[in-house]
Amino acid sequence: MIIDFHTHTFPDKVAARALSLLRQKSHTESFTDGTDVGLSASQKAAGIDLSLLLPVATYGEQATKINAFTIAHQAERKALGLLSFGAMHPDTPDYRNELIRLKEAGIKGIKLHPVYQGVDFDDDRYVNILNICGELGLAVIIHAGWDIGFPGISHASTQTVYHAMEKAEMLSGRNPVTLILAHMGGWREWEDVCTYFKDTPVFLDTSFSEHHLYPLADGYWDERDIHLLSEEQFLHMVDVFGAHRILFATDSPWSDQTAALRRFRNLPLKEREQTMILGENAGKILGLGV
C-alpha cells in the first residue's frame, strides 16, 4: 500500500479561492483543483492508495468547525481513498475535550502549524497538546522549519521544536506521543535537523523537500532559490534517520503526486527501504495493519 502522508484539500465552495490566494502568497504552482475529488483523481493517476489530509486551523474556534466537518465526512472521504487528521490550535477552547472528541470519532491524529498559528512551538499550550495526545494515542504532525509563504518568520525552528520535546518529556520517553516533523524535519534547516533530531523518536515526512519548487512565472523566485534537497542530501538523511522513520509525502496540491512518486521510486534505495517509506511506516502510525 502506498500512502501519501501529507496532502491538503478545501471545501468545494472555497477551494478555487483558497488555491488562488495561496499561489499568490507562495508564488508557486498547484497541481489539483484543491477539492477532495480532485485529490482522489490525482492519487489514482499516480498509483497512490491513500492520501492523508492535514487541515490547518488559523484561529482557535476554527479547529472545532474543521473537526466537525472532518468527522461528518469520514465515510465519503474513505470512498475516495482519503483519510483526514483533525485540526488543533493553541487557542482552541478546552482543547482536551476537543482532542477526546476526535479520538472517540476514530480520528488518528492532528495537524499543528506554528507559523500559520503565530505561536512558537515550545509554547506551553503546544506542550500541553503534545502531552494530551500522548495520553490519548493521537499522532501529531507539525509544520517544521521555515514556511514558503512567510519569509523571515519561524515559529518551528529545529531549536524551538527540540525545546518543546524537552518540555513535553518526549526525550526521556515519558511521553509516548508519535510526533511527525513535516518537510524532512524542518524546511530549509536540514543540516540542523540531522544534528538535533537524529537520536530522538520523531518521524520525518518527505513533503516539499526534495527536487525543487514549481514557481509561478512571475519572476519572484531566483533560480538559485528554487532548489531543495538534492538526491545526495536526501539519501544522507535517510541514512542518518533510518528508513523506518521516514514517511512518503507530497504536500499535494503543491507538488504533482505522479512526478513525486516516480522520483522516489527512481532513488537508489533498497526495496525494503522503499516499502517502509512508501507505506509501511505510515500504515503503522495510522493503525491500518499494513
CA 81 to chain centre: 18
Three-state secondary-structure class, residue 154: coil
Its pTM stands at: 0.97
The number of distinct structural domains making up the chain is: 1
Phi, psi of 115 (to 5 degrees): -70, -50
Using CA atoms, how far residue 188 sits from 40, 94, 148, 242, in Å, is 29, 34, 10, 20
- Per the CB < 8 A criterion, the answer to whether 147 and 111 are in contact is no
Give me the pLDDT at residue 289, please: 73
CATH code for the domain of 110: 3.20.20.140
Distance CA 220, CA 182 (A): 24
pLDDT tens digit string along 68-95? Answer: 999 999 999 999 999 999 999 999 999 9
Give me the pLDDT at residue 152, please: 87
| Segment 129-136 mean pLDDT | 98
Please report, rounded to a whole number, the percentage of residues in the chain having pLDDT higher than 70. 100
pLDDT tens digit string along 139-180? Answer: 999 999 999 988 888 999 999 999 999 999 999 999 999 999
Distance CA 29, CA 215 (A): 6
pLDDT tens digit string along 5-31? Answer: 999 999 999 999 999 999 999 999 999
pLDDT tens digit string along 43-65? Answer: 999 999 999 999 999 999 999 99
Band of residue 290 on the pLDDT scale cut at 50, 70, 90: low
Host domain of residue 176: 3-286
